[in-house]
Amino acid sequence: MRVVLKYGGSSVATIDKIKAIAKYIIKLKETKYSEIVVVASAMGKTTNKLISLAKDISENPDQRELDSLLSTGEQQTVSLISMAINSMGSSAISLTGSQANILTTGVHTKSKINSIDAEKIKCYLKKGKIVVVAGFQGINEDGDITTLGRGGSDTSAVALAATLQCECRIYTDVDGIYSVDPRIHPGAKFIEKLSYEEMMEMSNLGAGVMETRAVEIGKKYNVPIFVGKSLNESGGTYIMNTINDLEEKLVTGISVTKEIIITRILNIGYSSEKIAEIFSLVDAGGLNINMITQNMTKDCHVDLSFSCNSDEKYLLEQVISKVKANIPEAEVDYNDNLGMISIVGVGMINNSGIAGRFFSSLSRANINFYQVTTSEISVSSSIDRDLVETAVKAVAKEFNL
């Protein structure tokens, strides 16, 4: 039986943790799985340290060179894991993203996996080796090293599991997935089973346990995904297709993004071409948008607002610079003291009144809400950043989460 195991940065933060994981992987190889592929993130806060080094050189480092630098974090981890496994008498080999033939497309630091040629990996598996692959990275058509953006190791792992047609087990420092981040709301309820749709929505709206693209791949290729704590023999959450008992729950969870920026582009003479041009620049810049608001003024001008995560401010600045160059009359301002709270649940599809309860709970807690966006299974609103935790408690109480 074949499996892909993924270990996050906190799980491999020290040499002792790496040795413990290596021992556990060998045990799985001997008792449960005949073929094991391991995907690993950089150790602890290594990626942050590498970004800091780059910032010490340049406030806006070249993105190609940044990718080359950031990829070294995962390469360090997989080499050490492989060394540990080999030193314990088993057989392992480490591969970088390019050596694993993970082919990518898109912009540097936020590339996407285009395809994976897994023949080399399969060859090593047939020889009895445990294959340890660097997550978060690949190689583009120009032969350049690329990285996949936030949570990219999850994407690497699920994409490999899809290619190898096996289960993907994501190991981290938490027991599994909760209705809301327990660090914000200690009373959060544990979730044993979750639909792909709900997990995608929760991830997209701020839940940090899984990366959205990873769950999308899981849904598309029907990859069983397990999320649990490193070295634990029990517990964990299974992400799967929607099942009947999920439909009985109106709201499954709360997602939070603590730091967002709302950008307003004002005084745009209305034309569909100009609006399309702005969002084409957003797309080309790789900027992920959370919420969009468009208001038409009496003089046929448009005020356009959209929000993004604060950690993408450098991309936002690049996009706005291009907008100003292309539309000189546009006026731009920001509000960067905001957060976002969202509720998610497949049970919302056939039940009205959920949005009303959501906003009423915020109102009772004296919390103002600004931009609002909805989908079939979610409702989101931006709020003042310093009220995020208060909002979570109010909404969790309303929906018994």
How high is the pLDDT of residue 83? 98
How high is the pLDDT of residue 244? 57
Which two three-digit tokens encode residue 72?
Answer: 């070294």
Give the strand order in the sheet containing 112-116.
112-116, 102-105, 137-139, 145-147
pLDDT digits (tens, 9 = 90+) for 328-357: 888 888 888 899 999 998 878 777 788 899
Distance of CA 370 to the CA centre of its chain: 24
Q: Report the candidate in 226, 225, 292, 301 with the shortest Cα–Cα distance to residue 263.
A: 292
pLDDT at 271 exceeding the cut of 50: yes
1 and 167 in contact (C-beta within 8 Å)?
A: no
pLDDT at 318 exceeding the cut of 50: yes
More confident residue, 122 or 355: 122
Q: Report the candidate in 376, 359, 379 with the shortest Cα–Cα distance to residue 367.
A: 359
pLDDT digits (tens, 9 = 90+) for 29-79: 999 999 999 999 999 999 999 999 999 999 889 999 999 999 999 999 999
The pair phi, psi for residue 307, each rounded to 5°, is -120, 155
Please report the beta strands in 52-160, taking only residues with DSSP state E, as ranges in sequence order: 92-95, 102-105, 112-116, 130-134, 137-139, 145-147
How high is the pLDDT of residue 246? 47
Q: Report the candidate in 14, 16, 24, 147 with the shortest Cα–Cα distance to residue 74.
A: 147
More confident residue, 208 or 210: 210
Average pLDDT of the residues in 217-242: 88
Least confident stretch, 6-20, 125-139, 277-291, 353-367: 277-291
Least confident stretch, 74-78, 128-132, 222-226, 241-245: 241-245
State which amino acid sits at residue 56.
D
Q: What is the mean pLDDT of the chain?
A: 89
How high is the pLDDT of residue 175? 87
How high is the pLDDT of residue 33? 95
> Do the domains 2-173 and 254-398 sit in the same CATH topology, yes or no?
no
What predicted TM-score, i.e. pTM, was given to this entire model? Answer: 0.81
Average pLDDT of the residues in 120-140: 97
Least confident stretch, 71-75, 89-93, 265-269: 265-269
pLDDT at 304 exceeding the cut of 90: no
How high is the pLDDT of residue 248? 60
Least confident stretch, 59-73, 140-154, 300-314: 300-314
Element (H, E) at 336: strand 331-344
How high is the pLDDT of residue 133? 98
Q: Which CATH number fits domain 2-173: 3.90.226.10, 3.40.1160.10, 3.90.25.10, 3.40.50.720?
A: 3.40.1160.10
pLDDT digits (tens, 9 = 90+) for 377-386: 889 999 999 9
The Cα–Cα gap between 22 and 11 comes to: 11
Q: Report the candidate in 113, 211, 119, 220 with the shortest Cα–Cα distance to residue 164.
A: 119
Question: In the CATH hierarchy, which top-level class contains the domain 254-398?
Answer: alpha beta
How high is the pLDDT of residue 150? 81
236 and 177 in contact (C-beta within 8 Å)?
A: no
Q: Is 20 exposed, middle or buried (0-12, 13-18, 19+ CB in 10 A)?
A: middle
Handedness of CA 387, 389, 392, 397 (dihedral sign): negative
Domain boundaries, the chain: 2-173, 254-398
Average pLDDT of the residues in 84-110: 96
